[in-house]
Structure 1
Amino acid sequence: MRIWDLPPECLCRQHLLGEHRELHALWSVLTEGKPGFANHPETRRWRGKLKALFLRHDQLVAEMQRRGYQHRSPLPAALATGAAVQTEYVDTPEEQRRLLREKGCGCGV
């Protein structure tokens, strides 16, 4: 599970759509108490930051729509509470760029 801390426009198709899918899974864990990935480092860093996660979702959706994808899975804004900015990282943004470069997937990092 990974939510990138990089601009969505630099993500390749695979990583953009994959992050969107994983963000929805993470949202379910955090808002519905689903047990899967509850203790994952990525999950822990988003606790108390549903507003920031909601805003990241908005960024992903905007990029998906810019690329011509249809979006049909909005998040409930009423649950977007807590901090609006993510300040914790599993890997720093610089490390995330390195990881994506090494994948050779077409991400524009």
Structure 2
Amino acid sequence: MARAVGPVSLASARVALDDRVHSPVRFCLLAALNSVDSADYQTLKDALDVSYTLLSKHIALLEDAGYVRVHKEFSGRTPRTVLALTTSGRDAFRTHLTALDEIVAGLT
């Protein structure tokens, strides 16, 4: 398959970047969820080393975009929030990674 060269490729890759994915916290959150079927809120908070408030804000944005599914359950009396990527979330993450690869390749 022939690869586009020059600025056209860079421009199209730039346009393919997803602002909802691009934030470092959201990007890392999607990367973490992309590697598993699901993960609980506390595990993600600890892995990303962010505050509850910051993580909640980013999860809400990704949930509104349809990229993350949030499920609340109980373990005994303890509430537990479990997150998983949706098909749209996996596709968006993959598209974003492809665009980043094209940008890194640059003009070569």
Question: TM-score interval w.r.t. the shorter chain?
Answer: 0.3 to 0.5
TM-score (norm 2): 0.33
| Higher strand content, 1 or 2 | 2
